[in-house]
């Protein structure tokens, strides 16, 4: 069997296992799997509007994933990504609020706001980085704690200093005037500018990790920091750079959410794209080339499952179950495959 | 607040801490064996939902608890299987599972949202519960709280004072040496993953059938507790007693949040609820900073007395993980 | 118990580590197993102790075939092994370590264990404090603990894998006495080594392995030249001691003091010259590594000064030392020196000079090919470093060091290497001393290596450092005595 065929078979088996598991869950919930999958497809690819909706979700997910690939290259689990998206949203909102009544041209205000978002994400990420690099606090726990703090910060802002005239509510801050929205394509919700930011970021990360000294050194730090140090690489500086870059992309995701999607700050501004980005990164085994297509597929599942509560009275968290099952199945089937290959190698050697 | 109110409140803290104690002690046992089960947060949610659903539809609290324990053990075994037998990263698998079980809980729990269900009744110990203060605190609780007290003691005794406990320390510290001395390392790792996972699972029904009875989906207020339990495992230096003390401290903090709420009308309640998280970071910083290389370097530049004093303090706070935590062991 | 191995085969991937080995080992004797690193001795012994199971062949105890699936089975049959790096638990106390692996009961048999440890220690003249931490013991003491433990468990067959590495002359004498005693009591003692003189001194019979095959057996009196031929298949010589004329001072250390939680090293004064090789001798954990690391800026001294070519480097970090031409090569190659999953090519890119942002893969590939050729590395530019053998990893590490260095600091330059690779490594290092005027500072637990390659030797004993001893004015015996503490001041209490 050729290697390519083997690889395709592996992907096929993994996908089938994940679908089988999700179908079982659906049956358990008393629903028809076929109907559920059909509505997910229809709800995501059924019309041009739906497809552009998928792309609206695709952009922040792609940005988060691009950022995560940088930290993963350095061997870091940037669980704080959710909080970094949130801070991106907060910083963007802050600049928009500051400048919305100024005489500056709207385009400039939007650019400044998006840049501020990137900085906000990077700063929040740097915090997790400092805790990890100088405080020995595992980035999983440092980042996670900062995620919760970021959400609390959003709530405090929405119900406190930035509350709507009258009374603050879970629906978020007062929407910005339309001139401060990123322009969208026709009657859709999709902003081509946002799409551009997403695709360029993914390309930058791919280039950075595959062709530059920076990427290679980052990998060395990730795989063996002690050896990297002895090879003359300033490991702490590289780890901090990874955190900063990752936070920068996450912050961009938050900025896009505010300027292109919600046009205000809402409590769930990150929409869980950080967590989802972590899942995608694991699914693609941290290879940047696959980031764009797989994030598109995950965005499709997210958008498609919005139909489920309406059509089948099912919770839309089914998409999370299916996504989780996919990642898990790839990990497990991948492990089983490697085990099988290793065994065969031993057998071949002893039968020479 | 009267002193009586405070004692009732503290009794409530012991009661509310029980599930956190279960999860922390469970994870401590698993990690002592060398396995990180990162799925705790999602596991607690899924176990809470599943046991509530079973208890409601079967009209049996017992079956509900059995379900919770089963869910916890099953998820942990999946982590163990993928790392021990399939050589996959424990962190990756645990993390996927923590997210997936959470979504599973929300998805499958949808029909049970807001239903009325059974709950565990309190069980004052005759005689002892009448002792002033101590009786209210320790002997006027529900069976789960008693179980949490007993568990702390038993786990501590098991780890540090029994022969299998010594083997447990050995397989987490240096599995190849434990194996050479006849310990079936991977079998034991499976067992401790399952036992620890079962305890984590127990935390689920302890919430949904007792401490926060019912299932309310995303607003059940359980999301995040698993991560606290994981951090407490580190904070406790992989010692069940120290971990449990952390759990009580966490519950105390949450209670204080509720007590202080009326005095801070401008702060949304969600903000006070996250107070444990920055504190979690701070405590992890305190117990880990002694391991940082720059600290050593800076200390070397200080005068001898200051150097030795600071070193002593750092070493006292410092925790050192089992040397083989998260590292798979391949038996020939 | 008599042991018989029949047609044992063992593969590791494509490597045939044991190739049809048959041996008979009678009880009541000390049986030697001789071979150089990588000959398959440890593999064979791990099979006998149940740690590995053979791909083919059988094991007989007292004529009856046994199935040793796990170490637990071997222990039940009375077979115990002391591994080269003692398999114990540094964070545990001696008594707890002693009890790990005790087969029965729920509670810990503390009283019984304490009693047994004392009795056995008295019998063999061991000095073990049951309440000390294992991590604070010397390698010799850790071996004693293992022997005591195996005897407590009723071991009848004891396997010693290279037990004389890293212990002092005195400890070696004690060990050999213990082995004789064990054999006299009727136990089966298997002694694995690569040192001829130890076989000559100790063994009642010896079997020689080479490249996974059994090449022959011999009884005393031993024909040492014959044994060498069996070990290597040819005559190998280490070459003459080379003396390089010394140049000006490279490294100067004055009144240096280093400290960690357990150890304090103080008052080190030294001048190292261009082209000079200085060997650091001592038992593991006596402070050599601290000094080596401090000379690279990897550890900060608490007192004293370090100059490199006249520049004050006190308190500076490793990368400052690196810029001044210092390189540090640790012993744990895959853990500390190389980056697993990265290829040789990527390593040479990382170690080379960075030009611009984007990597020129073509140029790097040519450079890598040239280095692989020059340093005779068996591997391709796209081989990952973990797929290389230990000897080739060490060659790669040397190839990564840029030419013209002022000072190379090395932990155990030849640990785990076969003789050919070991000789090659030193050949390369000495060439750098001669042609590039590089000074070399290394630690080793192999006293012969230290004596043969150093110009001057520093001996360490629990944090105390001897004055430099010219290698021509000392010998193995004297060094063995020194690392055991003879000739040092009585140990001052170490301040915690």
Q: Cα-flanking dihedrals φ and ψ of residue C131, to 5°?
A: -100, 0
Q: What is the DSSP string of C451-494?
A: HHH-SEEEEEETTEEPPPEEGGG--HHHHHHHHTTTTSPPPPPP
Task: Give CA–CA dist C427/C374, Å, rounded.
Answer: 13
Domain boundaries, chain C: 3-232, 237-325+404-496, 339-403
Residue B327 in any domain: the answer is no
Which pLDDT score, from 0 to 100, does residue B127 have?
A: 86
Count of other CB atoms within 10 angstroms of residue B301 = 12
Which residue range is the domain that position B246 belongs to?
3-317
Other beta carbons within 10 Å of A69: 28
Cβ pair A224:C339 closer than 8 A: yes
Point out the least confidently predicted range of A78-87, A246-255, B63-72, C263-272: C263-272
The answer to whether residue B328 is domain-embedded is no
pLDDT at B10 over 90: yes
User: What's the mean pLDDT in B139-153?
Assistant: 95
Mean pLDDT, to the nearest integer, of A178-190?
Answer: 89
Query: Residue C493: is its pLDDT beyond 70?
Result: no
What CATH number has the domain bearing residue B293?
Answer: 1.10.3470
Residue C409's φ and ψ, nearest 5 degrees, are -110, 125
pLDDT in tens, C372-383: 999 999 999 999
Chain pair A-B, CB pairs under 8 angstroms: 141
Whether ipTM tops 0.85, in short, is yes
B280-324 confidence digits (pLDDT tens): 899 999 999 888 888 888 888 888 888 889 988 888 888 889 999
Q: Which of A77, A133, A137, A161 to mutate to test the interface with B (most CBs of B within 10 A)?
A: A137
Residues of A in contact with B253 (CB under 8 A): none
B326: left (phi over 0), alpha (psi -120 to 50) or beta: left
| CATH number 3.40.50.300 given to C3-232 | yes
Closest CB to C108: pick one of B162, B301, B307: B162
Give C375-406 pLDDT, tens digit per residue.
999 999 999 999 998 889 999 999 999 989 99
Look-up of token digits 């390698």: C139
Chain A interface, best mutation among C11, C16, C212, C329, by max A CB count within 10 A: C11
**Residue among C157, C223, C195, C229 at smallest CA distance from C3:** C157
pLDDT at residue C287 tops 70: yes
Contact B87 A149 (CB under 8 A): no
- Cβ–Cβ of A216/C337 closer than 8 Å? no
pLDDT of residue A1: 56
The Cα–Cα gap between C110 and C117 comes to 10
pLDDT value at position A351?
Answer: 57
- A231 and chain C in contact, CB less than 8 A: yes
Q: Is the pLDDT of residue C235 over 70?
A: no
What percent of chain A has a predicted confidence (pLDDT) above 90?
Answer: 82
The pLDDT score that the predictor gives to residue C149 is: 96
Query: How far does the CA of residue A238 sit from the closest CA of chain C (Å)?
Result: 14
Q: What is the mean pLDDT of residues C403-415?
A: 94
How far away is chain B from the Cα of A116, in angstroms, using its nearest Cα? Answer: 24
Q: Report the gap between the CA of B277 and the closest CA in chain A (Å).
A: 5
Question: A228 contacts in C (CB within 8 Å)?
Answer: 339, 350
Task: Please tell me the distance in Å from A231's CA to the nearest CA on chain C.
Answer: 6
Residues A286-312 pLDDT 10s: 999 999 999 999 999 999 999 899 888
Partner residue facing B100 (CB), from A146, A321, A336: A321
Inter-chain contact A226–C336, Cβ cutoff 8 Å? yes
pLDDT confidence of C84, banded at 50, 70, 90?
confident
CATH topology of domain C237-325+404-496: Rossmann fold (3.40.50)
Residues of A in contact with C328 (CB under 8 A): 230
Q: Which residues of C touch A227 (CB under 8 A)?
A: 335-339
- B222-274 pLDDT, tens digit per residue, is 988 999 999 999 999 999 999 999 999 999 988 888 888 888 777 777 777 78
Query: For the residues of A75-137, what is the DSSP string, one character each?
Result: T---TTHHHHHHHHHHHHHHHHHHHTTSSS-HHHHHHHHHHHHHHHHHHHHHHHHHHHHHH--
pLDDT of residue A150: 95
Q: What is d(CA C294, CA A126) in angstroms, rounded to the nearest whole number? A: 31
Does C490 score more than 70 pLDDT?
A: no
User: Cα angle at A119 between A181 and A196, to 5 degrees?
Assistant: 50
User: Taking CB atoms and an 8 Å limit, are A212 and C55 in contact across chains?
Assistant: no
Which residue in C13, C340, C349 is closest to A223 by CB distance? C340
Q: Using the beta-carbon criterion (under 8 Å), do A216 and C349 form an inter-chain contact?
A: yes
Tally the domains of chain B. 1
pTM, two decimal places:
0.93
Q: Inter-chain contact C55–A227, Cβ cutoff 8 Å?
A: no
**Closest among B322, B48, B305 to B185, alpha carbons compared:** B322
């Amino acid at each position: 069997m050729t290697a390519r065929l083997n690889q395709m078979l592996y992907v096929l088996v993994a996908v089938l296992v994940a679908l089988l598991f999700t179908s079982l869950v659906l049956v358990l919930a008393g629903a028809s799997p076929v109907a559920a999958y059909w509505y997910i497809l229809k709800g995501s690819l059924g019309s041009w509007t739906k497809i552009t909706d998928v792309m609206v979700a695709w952009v922040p997910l792609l940005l988060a994933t691009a950022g995560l690939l940088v930290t993963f290259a350095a061997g870091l689990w940037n669980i704080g990504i959710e909080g970094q998206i949130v801070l991106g949203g907060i910083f963007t909102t802050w600049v928009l609020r500051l400048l919305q009544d100024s005489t500056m041209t709207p385009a400039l205000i939007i650019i400044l706001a998006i840049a501020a978002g990137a900085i906000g994400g990077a700063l929040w990420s740097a915090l997790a980085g400092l805790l990890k690099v100088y405080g020995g606090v595992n980035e999983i726990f440092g980042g996670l704690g900062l995620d919760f703090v970021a959400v609390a910060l959003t709530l405090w802002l929405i119900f406190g200093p930035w509350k709507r005239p009258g009374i603050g509510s879970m629906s978020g801050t007062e929407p910005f005037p339309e001139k401060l929205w990123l322009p969208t394509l026709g009657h859709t919700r999709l902003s081509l500018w946002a799409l551009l930011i997403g695709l360029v970021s993914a390309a930058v990360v791919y280039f950075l990790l595959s062709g530059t000294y920076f990427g290679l050194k980052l990998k060395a730090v990730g795989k063996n920091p002690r050896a990297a140090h002895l090879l003359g690489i300033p490991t702490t500086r590289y780890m901090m750079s990874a955190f900063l870059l990752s936070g920068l992309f996450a912050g961009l995701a938050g900025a896009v959410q505010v300027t292109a999607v919600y046009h205000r700050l809402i409590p769930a501004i990150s929409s869980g794209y950080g967590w989802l980005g972590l899942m995608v990164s694991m699914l693609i085994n941290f290879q940047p080339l696959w980031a764009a297509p797989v994030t598109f597929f995950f965005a499709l599942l997210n958008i498609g499952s919005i139909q489920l509560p309406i059509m089948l009275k099912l919770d839309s968290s089914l998409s999370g179950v299916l996504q989780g099952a996919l990642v898990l199945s790839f990990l497990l089937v991948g492990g089983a495959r490697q085990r099988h290959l290793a065994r065969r190698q031993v057998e071949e050697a002893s039968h020479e | 607040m009267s002193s009586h109110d405070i004692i009732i409140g503290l009794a409530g803290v012991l009661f509310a801490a029980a599930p956190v104690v279960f999860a922390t002690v469970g994870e401590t046992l698993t990690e002592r064996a060398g396995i990180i089960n990162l799925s705790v947060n999602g596991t607690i949610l899924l176990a809470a939902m599943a046991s509530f659903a079973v208890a409601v539809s079967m009209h049996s609290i017992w079956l509900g608890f059995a379900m919770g324990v089963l869910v916890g053990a099953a998820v942990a075994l999946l982590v163990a299987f993928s790392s021990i037998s399939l050589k996959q990263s424990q962190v990756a698998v645990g993390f996927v599972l923590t997210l997936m079980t959470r979504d599973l809980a929300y998805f499958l729990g949808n029909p049970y949202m807001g239903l009325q269900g059974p709950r565990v009744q309190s069980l004052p110990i005759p005689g002892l519960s009448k002792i002033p203060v101590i009786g209210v605190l320790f002997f006027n609780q529900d069976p789960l709280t008693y179980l949490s007290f007993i568990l702390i003691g038993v786990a501590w005794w098991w780890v540090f004072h029994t022969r299998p406990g010594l083997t447990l320390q050995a397989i987490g510290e240096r599995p190849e040496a434990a194996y050479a001395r006849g310990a079936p390392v991977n079998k034991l790792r499976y067992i401790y993953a399952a036992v620890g996972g079962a305890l984590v699972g127990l935390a689920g029904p302890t919430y949904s059938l007792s401490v926060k009875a019912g299932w309310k989906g995303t607003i059940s207020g359980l999301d995040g507790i698993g991560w606290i339990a994981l951090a407490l495992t580190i904070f406790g230096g992989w010692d069940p007693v120290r971990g449990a003390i952390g759990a009580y401290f966490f519950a105390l903090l949450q209670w204080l949040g509720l007590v202080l709420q009326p005095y801070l009308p401008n702060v949304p309640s969600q903000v006070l609820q996250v107070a444990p998280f920055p504190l979690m970071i701070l405590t992890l910083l305190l117990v880990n900073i002694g391991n940082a290389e720059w600290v050593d370097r800076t200390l070397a530049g200080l005068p001898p007395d200051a150097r030795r004093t600071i070193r002593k303090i750092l070493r006292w706070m410092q925790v050192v993980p089992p040397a083989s935590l998260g590292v798979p062991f391949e038996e020939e | 118990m008599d042991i018989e191995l029949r047609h044992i085969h063992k593969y590791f991937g494509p490597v045939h580590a044991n190739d049809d080995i048959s041996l008979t080992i009678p009880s009541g004797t000390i049986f030697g197993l001789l071979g150089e690193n990588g000959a398959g001795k440890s593999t064979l012994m791990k099979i006998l102790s149940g740690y590995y199971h053979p791909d083919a062949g059988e094991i007989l105890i007292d004529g009856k075939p046994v199935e040793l699936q796990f170490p637990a089975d071997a222990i039940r049959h009375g077979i115990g092994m002391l591994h080269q790096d003692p398999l114990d638990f540094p964070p545990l106390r001696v008594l707890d370590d002693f009890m790990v692996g005790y087969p029965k009961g729920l509670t810990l048999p503390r009283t019984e264990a304490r009693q047994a440890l004392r009795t056995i220690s008295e019998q063999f003249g061991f000095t073990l404090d049951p309440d000390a931490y294992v991590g604070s013991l010397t390698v010799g003491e850790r071996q004693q603990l293992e022997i005591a433990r195996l005897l407590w468990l009723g071991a009848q067959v004891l396997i010693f894998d290279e037990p004389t590495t890293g212990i002092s002359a005195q400890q070696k004498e004690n060990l050999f006495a213990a082995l004789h005693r064990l054999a006299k009591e009727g136990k089966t003692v298997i002694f694995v080594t690569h040192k001829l003189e130890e076989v000559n001194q100790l063994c009642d019979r010896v079997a020689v392995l080479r490249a996974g095959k059994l090449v022959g057996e011999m009884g005393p009196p031993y024909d040492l030249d014959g044994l060498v031929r069996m070990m290597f298949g040819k005559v190998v010589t280490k070459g003459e001691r080379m003396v390089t004329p010394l140049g000006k001072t490279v490294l100067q250390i004055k009144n240096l003091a280093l400290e960690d939680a357990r150890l304090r090293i103080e008052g080190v004064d030294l001048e190292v010259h261009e082209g000079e090789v200085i060997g650091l001798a001592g038992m593991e954990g006596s402070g050599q590594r601290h000094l080596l690391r401090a000379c690279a800026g990897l550890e900060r001294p608490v007192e004293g000064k370090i100059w490199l070519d006249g520049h004050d480097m006190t308190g500076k970090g490793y990368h400052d030392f690196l810029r001044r031409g210092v390189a540090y090569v640790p012993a744990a190659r895959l853990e500390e020196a190389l980056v697993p999953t990265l290829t040789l090519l990527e390593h040479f890119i990382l170690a080379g000079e960075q030009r611009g942002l984007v990597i020129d893969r073509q140029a790097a590939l040519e450079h890598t090919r040239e280095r692989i050729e020059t340093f005779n590395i068996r591997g391709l530019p796209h081989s990952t470093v973990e797929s290389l053998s230990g000897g080739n990893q060490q060659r790669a590490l040397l190839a990564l060091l840029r030419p013209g260095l002022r000072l190379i600091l090395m932990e155990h330059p030849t640990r785990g290497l076969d003789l050919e690779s070991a000789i090659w490594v030193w050949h390369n290092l000495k060439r750098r001393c001669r042609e590039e005027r590089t000074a070399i500072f290394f630690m080793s637990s192999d006293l012969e290596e230290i004596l043969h390659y150093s110009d001057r030797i520093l001996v360490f004993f629990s944090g105390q450092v001897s004055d430099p001893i010219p290698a021509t004015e000392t010998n193995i015996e004297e060094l063995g005595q020194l690392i055991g503490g003879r000739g040092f001041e009585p140990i001052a209490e170490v301040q915690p």
